[in-house]
Every structure is written in C-alpha cells, then in structure tokens.
C-alpha cells in the first residue's frame, strides 16, 4: 500500500519552529539563536507549556525586512 500523496501546492512546513530549526533557517548555531533572543535582536518566540517556538511567518517577514531589531524599521526608525 502506498502512502497518500500530498498535493504539490500544499505546504507541509511546520508553522512553529524550534531553536534548532531557526538556527538551520538562519544558517547559524543554535546557541547564537539564544544569544540573539537575549539581546533582543530576533523576533520574539511564543511559549507553549515549557516549549519555546518561533512563528515561521514572523521569521520569514523579519528576514525579508533585512533582520532589523524588533521594533525598528529597516531605516533604523522605531515603529509606532
């Protein structure tokens, strides 16, 4: 029996990413992800129970914007 096939237009990527997955996405070490979080230099994660996860969409928008510090625009001006 063959497994059911996923339609090509269906995205099977997880919506919430672990620190290890974020590190892979950013091509940095996992410890660096935690350092960026401590420095306030990466988008804030969500906490679910004892787990820390990052929203994939938020990370993608952050990367597309040039990885600004949260609360700033790409021009360095604070957002309102």
Tens digits of per-residue pLDDT, 20-72? 999 999 999 999 999 999 999 999 999 999 999 999 999 999 999 999 998 87
pTM listed for this prediction: 0.74
Predicted confidence at residue 8, as pLDDT, reads 54
Query: How are strands ordered across the β-sheet holding 51-55?
Result: 16-17, 51-55, 46-48
Instruction: Please tell me the distance from the alpha carbon of residue 62 to that of residue 17, in angstroms, as a whole number.
Output: 14
**Euclidean distance between CA atoms 12 and 46, whole angstroms:** 20
Distance from C-alpha of 39 to C-alpha of 35, rounded to nearest angstrom = 6
Under a CB-based contact definition with an 8 Å cutoff, are residues 49 and 55 in contact? no
With CA atoms as reference, report the closest residue to 70 among 46, 45, 43.
43
């Amino acid at each position: 029996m063959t497994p059911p096939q996923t339609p090509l237009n269906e995205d099977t990527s997880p919506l919430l990413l672990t620190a290890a997955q974020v590190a892979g996405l950013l091509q940095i070490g996992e410890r660096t992800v935690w350092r960026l979080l401590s420095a306030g230099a990466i988008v804030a994660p969500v906490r679910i129970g004892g787990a820390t996860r990052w929203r994939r969409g938020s990370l993608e928008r952050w990367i597309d914007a040039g990885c600004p510090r949260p609360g700033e625009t790409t021009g360095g001006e604070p957002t309102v």
